[in-house]
Structure 1
């Protein structure tokens, strides 16, 4: 009685085995073909090909090591600044008896440290040649491999770009009528540079500054501006309307990211098989990672405004939500149906955190507008 059932399952397993065999054969076919061609060639051809293969293996080995190694990642990094101990606004004397020594800006310091984290403590992945080459010509962002760190770095970079613009336009000048600070202008221009530039290019002049080089220029410019503040020669306008505008820009930036998550959720519910879900997730994570430190720095630089308008309660709730979002680090990012119990929707969960943070920022703006 059981023989037909057993034969049925045997046929199924044999079909599955043949299917795996076909897939493996298709994967190995190019390598087998190349190996056969290589074995029939003389040493004048073999040696150059062998050198190229060794360089490729070493290059991809280094790339994989860099792309998977996250150095000095710490979601609690803002704690080391001890913002609570800073009681003087940027550019104001630390001691009334010594007007030649003033306070630096926490926003500028954190922005510079985020640049240092991205390009000095870690290798800037997006401009690496093998990162741009992808997997046999397919961009890494369309695969589930080796793009998480690059997306995380790009998310941080987005925040740094936004902050340098605001520093030039509003925070680093008095009421928008004073002269633009040259160091801040240099930082903004450097951060506006291409995110994936390598030092060699196919277009004239064929040699160009790489993205890390330009970002190091921005880091030096931001450090120089904070030096001006410490010498009481720089300007930082810590007014309520400047804080409102800064929060408004951050709210818009986070809102745009929320829409990107929504579009990806609507475009696919393939769960763990959605190759774009991971880079969308880690780009958003990088933004929240950077904004967590910058918003805490903002509370320090605008302490008088926070205390005067009594927005500390809303801000503390925002900080808690940002920190909670940074606890979400799944091993594999899934973009499944929101009601699924096998393939969860990590994008929906991250989007929930983003919207909570955004709603609190809107509430803070409303308080400042009253």
Structure 2
């Protein structure tokens, strides 16, 4: 009586085995055909093709290493600046009572230092992934951002870059000039222009056709411009206008930037909740994470740059609460990003989770801005 059942399962497993064998055959056929074709060629062509294959394997090996290894990644990186011990606002003269013959010294801008260091982290300590040729080519023509592979670091870097771009706009337009009526600092103007350059340019392109200056070169120029500005600020040869209204505007712009990100996360979480099978969830998550990573350092620096304003308005506790929210958010580092239902336990919603922390940070910024506006 068991024979029909045994025969059925035997047949089923045979069919499954044939199906797997057929699929493997389809996948291996191009390589087998290429191998047969290669063995029939002359040694010159074999040498050229062999060298090309070796180069391609090397490029993909480097690409794999670049996208998987995050050099000097440290969510607690603002601690290394020791901003809490500085005790002077950006642009404030340190030796105001000294003799006229004494060289002037002013406080550096922590915001400019952190913005330069974040960009250095993106393009010097780590290769800039978004403009690498293999990243641009994609996975058999499919954009890497639409796959679950090799795109997390690129999204993270772009998130940091978004925070730096927003900050450099404020530095050039408001913070680095007196009441918006003085001339824009040339270094900040140059840094803003360089950091706004598109994120995907390689050494060659088709629109327009011809050789190009790659994206990282522009970002490296922005680093140089920021450090030149800070050196001049330290020598009291330029200004940093550390007024309350400038801080309010900076916080409002950052809060608006983070608000846009939460809207993107909300849309993805509500309309594409496929758990681990949402191929774009990791892009959204790591972009948001990169923004938080960048703004954490920049907000810590702003606390030092506007030290006098924050002390006079008794904002130390509110500011510390905001920084603690950043720390809590940056502890979320899932191995696999899931965009499941909010109540799911097998496939949770990491987008909703990080969106919640972004809203908490944003709420603290609004609270600080409200206190400053009174």
Check the 8 A contact 1:93/1:99 in 2, yes or no.
no
Correspondence 1:358-369 to 2 at 5 A: 358-369=362-373
Question: Is 2:155 the partner of 1:151?
Answer: yes
Shift of residue 186, structure 1, vs aligned partner: 0.5
Question: Is 2:71 the partner of 1:64?
Answer: no
**Residue of structure 2 in register with 1:29 after alignment:** 29
Check the 8 A contact 1:239/1:305 in 2, yes or no.
yes
The 3-state SS of whatever aligns with 1:367 is helix
Judged with a 3 Å threshold, the aligned counterparts in structure 2 of structure 1 residues 260 and 22 are, in CA distance, closer, same or farther, namely farther
Counterpart CA distance in 1 for 2:228 and 2:323 is 29
Counterpart CA distance in 2 for 1:270 and 1:28 is 31
Counterpart CA distance in 1 for 2:12 and 2:308 is 72
**Residue of structure 1 in register with 2:131 after alignment:** 127
Check the 8 A contact 2:315/2:368 in 1, yes or no.
yes
Counterpart CA distance in 2 for 1:346 and 1:304 is 38
Shift of residue 200, structure 1, vs aligned partner: 2.2
Judged with a 3 Å threshold, the aligned counterparts in structure 2 of structure 1 residues 123 and 259 are, in CA distance, closer, same or farther, namely same
Shift of residue 13, structure 1, vs aligned partner: 4.2
Counterpart CA distance in 2 for 1:79 and 1:109 is 14
Shift of residue 344, structure 1, vs aligned partner: 1.3
**Residue of structure 2 in register with 1:183 after alignment:** 187
Counterpart CA distance in 2 for 1:353 and 1:298 is 20
Pick aligned residue for 1:271 from 241, 261, 275: 275
**Residue of structure 2 in register with 1:74 after alignment:** 74
Correspondence 1:185-334 to 2 at 5 A: 185-203=189-207, 206-334=210-338
Judged with a 3 Å threshold, the aligned counterparts in structure 2 of structure 1 residues 23 and 74 are, in CA distance, closer, same or farther, namely same
The 3-state SS of whatever aligns with 1:91 is coil
Shift of residue 341, structure 1, vs aligned partner: 1.7
**Residue of structure 2 in register with 1:83 after alignment:** 83
Check the 8 A contact 1:338/1:344 in 2, yes or no.
yes
Which moves more between the two structures, 6-15 or 21-30?
Answer: 6-15
List per-residue Cα deviations over 1:175-221 (Å, max 9, x = no partner). 00000100000000111111111122235572222111111111111
List per-residue Cα deviations over 1:53-82 (Å, max 9, x = no partner). 111111111111111111111111100111
**Residue of structure 2 in register with 1:163 after alignment:** 167
RMSD over equivalenced CA pairs, Å: 1.8
Shift of residue 16, structure 1, vs aligned partner: 4.0
Shift of residue 229, structure 1, vs aligned partner: 0.8
Counterpart CA distance in 2 for 1:345 and 1:64 is 27
TM-score (norm 1): 0.95
Length, aligned pairs only: 370
Check the 8 A contact 2:160/2:290 in 1, yes or no.
yes
TM-score (norm 2): 0.94
Shift of residue 10, structure 1, vs aligned partner: 4.6
Correspondence 1:93-108 to 2 at 5 A: 93-96=93-96, 97=98, 98=102, 100-108=104-112
Check the 8 A contact 2:90/2:304 in 1, yes or no.
no
